[in-house]
Amino acid sequence: PPEDLVIKDCIDRIIETINEDQQVKLIGSSLGGLLAAKTAQVRPVSHLILINPAIIPPYMDVSTIDDMPDRILKEMKDEQLFLSKISSRIDILVGSNDDLVPNEWSIEFARAQEASLHFYHDDHRFSKNLMKLPDIITGLS
């Protein structure tokens, strides 16, 4: 459950799993997109593919965000994601009808990271393109 989540512990587990593989591509959606990006900050990977990543811009007041515990939101908000360039190639898939993660967050992160944005007429879960995601992701490689 979100209230038990510790971002640093998740990142440590991801790093332990990918170990020394230099050709790692991390794919993450929503909170998983944040975890992938934060992992790539400390452990370089070859490619990040983020789907509607829950990466909170520095100017955002997390107290205005509903449905997540305040402690988690504070851990999620990381100004360094906007100040320090991640050395990986980054592609961001954005559902233009996402009702959970504002498109502006992805645009702001993409601008800071010089990442590629790919918009799809879809929702947060990529419901309309879910079966096409393997082909979409393969096309990004």
pLDDT at 55 over 90: yes
pLDDT value of position 118: 98
Question: Considering the chain, what is the average pLDDT of its residues?
Answer: 94
Distance CA 87, CA 113 (A): 9
66-116 pLDDT per residue, tens: 888 888 899 999 999 999 999 999 999 999 999 999 999 999 999 999 999
pLDDT value of position 103: 97
Token pair listed for 23:
């050709």
CB atoms under 10 Å from CB of 70, counted, come to 10
The candidate with the shortest Cα–Cα distance to 4, out of 74, 71, 63, is 71
Q: Are 94 and 106 in contact (CB under 8 A)?
A: yes
pLDDT value of position 2: 67
